[in-house]
Amino acid sequence: MSRNPDLERQAREILIRNDRGGYTVPTHGLYPFQWNWDSAFVALGFATFDRDRAWREIETLVSAQWADGMIPHIIFHQQDEGYFPGPEVWATGRTPPTSGITQPPVLATILRQLWEAEGADPACPRMRALYRACLASHRWFHTFRDPLGNGLVMVTHNWETGRDNSSEWDDALARVDTAAVGPYQRRDTGHVDAAMRPRQEEYDRYVAILQFGRECGWDHAAIADRGPFRMIDVGMSMMLLRANRDLLALAEAQGDYEAAGELRARIALSERGMDWLWNEEAGAYCSRDVITGESSGLVTNASFLAFYAGVGSEAQRARLIAALERIAGSARYLLPSLEAGSRAYDHRRYWRGPVWLVVSYMVAEGLAQQGHADWAERIREDSARLIETAGFYESFSPETGEGSGGPDFSWTAAMWLAWCGR
């Protein structure tokens, strides 16, 4: 039962309006293509009123999976000049055109939810096909994105993290050479206030990293070995660990014992490896630079995905709850993407402070599953109040509740339908 039938109707209308026939754009104008983790969360929204459409969302996504197993972060199903960098800049040579990088691996977790909600039939053909796609994707991460052999995820472009301009990347991005970038025309600031988007000097670095990948012919082994940006991302690492747990449940249900053994070994490896990301001074899990070994030392919303991943000692979890209490004292709405007072905190600028409901959802789910129902409910209530106050924006100020980024945003609508509006 929805807490607000009018918002329920609006949320459904947003998903239907952003539907492009088998895939959903995040919002009109700003993001005119299909994005990887957006589609996974959008499927949860569709599942509340059109289950066939929910399945088709992720089936369309994996239809563009590369032969090596990578599921790209953008699929360019049709031409649209309103976005940069478009398919001609990526030049991956794929059909349909795609970007050359990936995004957070949440798909297996969403797949398990869809499957279990329909009765968990091990013979379900749609689940079985998508299971194989997810398994190939997870194997790609293991092959190309675990250079330290500790079960953690290295990213080679900050866009892969989904937390594009997080302050966690600042030091690593500062080393990226932009001398050969050349002129280009951004499109994002023509759709939303530039004060809510990454700065120009940051965008130059993003383009330089893209150009390196293109010059490598999108050879993922070469990029992972020599790329100018290589970070072990706490968010991706936590989400992949959780996704491996969910994929294991699917493997066991089908009797795929070989894959189940493989997944158990990877889960154990990641559980052991996660301590490498623990920063005792910060009292939280933080991303680390592969090139320098330095920890970001920053408490972000991704730090709290430890509960979602099911990791951390009793003492570590207590430190994380203490950090959550501290953040709750400075933020009117949980969960900000960066703790107030941190380096480069900005309550309106993209991932340097604003609340993003998909991360809040995963954190709340983890908190509830790990025995912190009070914190899970606080985050859920804050998320609902943000939508009730500002509407279905891309993100929100943790201080004022003001919406930021694109309006009528698909995954925000999905979060109302599947989670915080219930």
Query: Which of 209-233 are b and which e, b meaning 16 or more Cβ less than 10 Å from the residue's Cβ?
Result: bbbbbeebebebeebbeebbbbbbb
365, 379 in Cβ contact below 8 A? Answer: no
Selection from 170, 104, 181 nearest residue 137 by Cα: 104
**Per residue in 346-374, pLDDT tens?**
999 999 999 999 999 999 999 999 999 99
134, 107 in Cβ contact below 8 A? Answer: yes
Cα separation, 96 vs 76, in Å, equals: 7
Q: Which pairs count as long-range contacts for 15-21, CB under 8 Å and 24+ apart, including other chains? A: 15/42, 15/45, 15/46, 15/410, 15/413, 15/414, 15/417, 17/408, 18/408, 18/410, 19/53, 20/77, 20/78
Give the model's pLDDT for residue 1: 66
The pTM of this model reads 0.97
Cα separation, 422 vs 266, in Å, equals: 35
In this model, does residue 166 exceed pLDDT 70? Answer: yes
Give the model's pLDDT for residue 219: 98
In this model, does residue 207 exceed pLDDT 80? Answer: yes
What amino acid occupies position 153? V
* Structure-token pair, residue 256: 């795929």
DSSP state of 281: T
Q: What percent of the chain has pLDDT over 70?
A: 100
Q: pLDDT grade, residue 71 (50/70/90)? A: very high
Beta-carbon contacts of 409 under 8 Å, excluding residues fewer than 6 positions away, are 14, 26, 27, 392, 393, 394
Q: How many residues comprise the chain?
A: 422
**Per residue in 376-406, pLDDT tens?**
999 999 999 999 999 999 999 999 999 999 9
Strand partners of residue 355: 336, 396
DSSP state of 401: -
Domain span at 119: 5-420
Mean pLDDT value across residues 46-53: 98
DSSP state letters, 91-110:
----SS-B-SS-----HHHH
DSSP state letters, 137-190:
HHHHHHHHS-TTSSS--EESSGGGGS-TT-GGGHHHHHT---TT-------GGG
Q: Which pairs count as long-range contacts for 124-133, CB under 8 Å and 24+ apart, including other chains? A: 126/55, 126/59, 127/250, 128/254, 129/59, 130/58, 130/59, 130/62, 131/247, 131/250, 131/251, 131/254, 133/62, 133/65, 133/71, 133/107
Neighbours of 377 (CB within 10 A): 13
Cα separation, 357 vs 71, in Å, equals: 23
* Structure-token pair, residue 289: 């630079």
Cα separation, 105 vs 245, in Å, equals: 12
Q: Which residues are catalytic?
A: 164, 394
Cα separation, 380 vs 419, in Å, equals: 8
Q: What mean pLDDT value characterizes the chain?
A: 97
Instruction: Estimate to the nearest angstrom the gap between the alpha carbon of 385 and the chain centroid.
Output: 22
Give the model's pLDDT for residue 175: 97
Give the model's pLDDT for residue 92: 98
In this model, does residue 2 exceed pLDDT 80? Answer: no
Mean pLDDT value across residues 191-200: 88
Task: Indicate the burial class of 346 (C-beta count within 10 angstroms; 0-12, 13-18, 19 or more).
Answer: middle
For tokens 């969302």, the residue is 57
Query: 3-state DSSP call for residue 273?
Result: helix
**Per residue in 99-117, pLDDT tens?**
999 999 999 999 999 999 9
Count up the domains in the chain and report the number. Answer: 1
Cα→Cα distances 354→53, 298, 390, 393, 415, Å: 30, 15, 13, 11, 16
412, 387 in Cβ contact below 8 A? Answer: yes
**Per residue in 307-340, pLDDT tens?**
999 999 999 999 999 999 999 999 999 999 999 9
Give the model's pLDDT for residue 3: 81
What's 388's domain CATH number?
A: 1.50.10.10
Cα separation, 367 vs 137, in Å, equals: 27
In this model, does residue 120 exceed pLDDT 90? Answer: yes
Cα→Cα distances 166→198, 218, 249, 296, Å: 9, 24, 32, 10
Q: What are phi and psi of 105, to 5 degrees?
A: -85, 75
**Per residue in 215-271, pLDDT tens?**
999 999 999 999 999 999 999 999 999 999 999 999 999 999 999 999 999 999 999
